[in-house]
């Protein structure tokens, strides 16, 4: 269920982007992603509570991996540099090179890895709430 305070923000952004792309008023607008599902096909669902957007840059060094985790909120990810590989368990692995935008899996345990020689840098934008968990680590 979409938090009521998030609806005006989403509508304003949608209208602004849609209008700019429709009438070519802003030639520099490049749509990165438009979806209602995660990368593994889960429908996007917002956590109850007051909307809270958190943006971060996640860096994974060569040879490193994240812990096994999942997200309680939608996560927009954009690969700034390097190539991230994400293991979704029984859903398989997916590679995301620089310039890739996607909505990360929410209710599927997964881990990100850097099998390359340069750092992976990911712009992570969590579309959360004051009651949802951005990241839950598996113990």
CATH number for the domain harbouring residue 83: 2.60.120.10
Domain that holds residue 63: 32-137
Q: Tell me whether residue 17 is in a domain.
A: no
Q: Tell me whether residue 94 is in a domain.
A: yes
| Complete DSSP assignment for 18-60 | HHHHHHTS-TT-------SB-TTSPBP-PPSSSEEEEEEEEEE
Rounded CA separation 129/121 (Å): 24
Secondary structure class of 10 (helix, strand, coil): helix
This model's pTM is above 0.75:
yes
Whether the pLDDT of residue 114 is over 90: the answer is yes
Secondary structure class of 73 (helix, strand, coil): coil
Domain count, the chain: 1
pLDDT in tens, 58-99: 999 999 999 999 999 999 999 999 999 999 999 999 999 999
């Amino acid at each position: 269920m979409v938090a009521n305070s998030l609806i005006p923000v989403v509508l304003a952004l949608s209208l602004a982007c849609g209008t700019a792309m429709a009438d070519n008023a802003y030639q520099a607008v490049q749509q990165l992603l438009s979806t209602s599902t995660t990368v593994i096909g889960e429908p996007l669902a917002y956590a109850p509570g007051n909307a809270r957007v958190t943006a971060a840059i996640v860096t994974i060094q060569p040879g490193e991996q994240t812990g096994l985790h999942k997200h309680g909120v939608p996560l927009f990810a954009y690969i700034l540099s390097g190539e991230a590989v994400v293991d979704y368990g029984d859903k398989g692995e997916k590679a995301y090179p620089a310039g890739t935008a996607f909505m990360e899996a929410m209710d599927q345990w997964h881990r990100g890895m850097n099998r390359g020689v340069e750092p992976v840098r990911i712009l992570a934008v969590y579309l959360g709430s004051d009651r949802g968990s951005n990241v839950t680590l598996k113990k």
